[in-house]
Amino acid sequence: MDQVKLTEGQKKVRRRRSVAIALALALLVVLFYVATIVKFGPGMFDRPL
């Protein structure tokens, strides 16, 4: 099979894009977590398990 060989510049761009996507996903997770805590309020931690 023919495979594409990436240059060093293309590898760096791909790496930066992957890191940016990972950071955006992590920020979204934190945002949802904070929104959940705000919605349910501090009483959420006082309930029995």
* List of the chain residues with pLDDT < 70: 49
The structure tokens 């805590």 sit at 37
Q: What is the pLDDT of residue 45?
A: 72
Percent of the chain with pLDDT over 90: 63
Q: What is the pLDDT of residue 47?
A: 74
- Please, how many CA atoms are within 13 Å of residue 23, restricted to the half-sphere of its CB? 6
DSSP per-residue letters across the chain: ---PPPPHHHHHHHHHHHHHHHHHHHHHHHHHHHHHHHHH-GGGGGS--
